[in-house]
Amino acid sequence: MKIIVFGANGQIGKILIDKIKKEGTHEVTAAVRKEEQAKDFQSKGVKGLLVDLEGSVEELTKVIRGHDAVVFSAGSGGKTGPDKTLLVDLDGAVKTMEAASKAGTKRYLMVSALQANNRKNWNQKIRPYYVAKHYADRCLAESGLDFTIVRPGGLTNDKGAGKVAISEQLERGKVSREDVATVLLASLEEEKTIGKAFDLTEGDKSFKDALGGL
């Protein structure tokens, strides 16, 4: 499978790309917004393509064309305001969905956030972020793409525990970025995850059992 990762230079993105490279079954492209980031990836033997999520659907279509799957793990982050949340986390994400459709790339994995689907459970301090995640996920579910929406709890940089909980609704909890990356790669390889959206936290199940239970 040829996979393109948006947010490739981010923390989950980098771990995922390393995992894909190490596993060796798939080809991976890093979609990044700065020349030096593309060069860094190229020096590690990973194709780097320059594109800004604030750019046009046409530009995004060009970089997605030729890939079998899109992973969206980008985000404007906590240091910018709700304007960037709208432009990147919502519109940026939806533009990649439109671009994937135009490019004929059917498979699409979204890194969302725990309970983004359920307004009652949003963290009220970052409501605009949840609004963006919620509507991006809804657009994806209605896009006709072969989607999987992974909704992790609070992200940590701990070493992967190798055990997770996966369910339609989980209590607030945390999960390491490494385990999120493993779930993303395992989801790409498990057809059962197509058309599914689920919360993800630390837990007591192996990746295989957790995804197999969907």
Ligand X SMILES: NC(=O)c1ccc[n+]([C@@H]2O[C@H](COP(=O)([O-])OP(=O)(O)OC[C@H]3O[C@@H](n4cnc5c(N)ncnc54)[C@H](OP(=O)(O)O)[C@@H]3O)[C@@H](O)[C@H]2O)c1
Span interacting with ligand X, options 141-149, 151-159, 163-171, 188-196, rule CB under 6 A: 151-159
**Nearest to ligand X of 178, 207 (CB atom):** 178
152 binds ligand X (CB under 6 A): yes
129 flagged as catalytic: yes
Which one of residues 18, 52, 146, 190 is an interface residue with ligand X (CB under 6 A)? 52
* Residues from 2 through 21 that contact ligand X (CB under 6 A): 7, 9-13
* Residues from 91 through 110 that contact ligand X (CB under 6 A): 92
64 binds ligand X (CB under 6 A): no
Q: CB of residue 4 vs ligand X: minimum separation in angstroms?
A: 12
CB of 197 closer than 8 Å to CB of 213 = no
47 DSSP β-pair partners: 29
Q: Which pair of tokens denotes residue 79?
A: 């240091």
Sign of CA dihedral 205, 207, 211, 212: negative
Closest among 147, 160, 138 to 195, alpha carbons compared:
147
38 binds ligand X (CB under 6 A): no
**Nearest to ligand X of 80, 206 (CB atom):** 80
Residue 66 has φ and ψ, to the nearest 5°, of 95, -10
**Nearest to ligand X of 12, 70 (CB atom):** 12
CB of 201 closer than 8 Å to CB of 114 = yes
**Nearest to ligand X of 107, 152 (CB atom):** 152
Rounded Cα distance between 112 and 173, Å, is 14
Helices (H), 49-126: 57-64, 82-84, 93-103
DSSP category for residue 181 = H
Residues binding ligand X (CB under 6 A)? 7, 9-13, 33-34, 52-54, 73-77, 88, 92, 111, 113, 152, 154-155
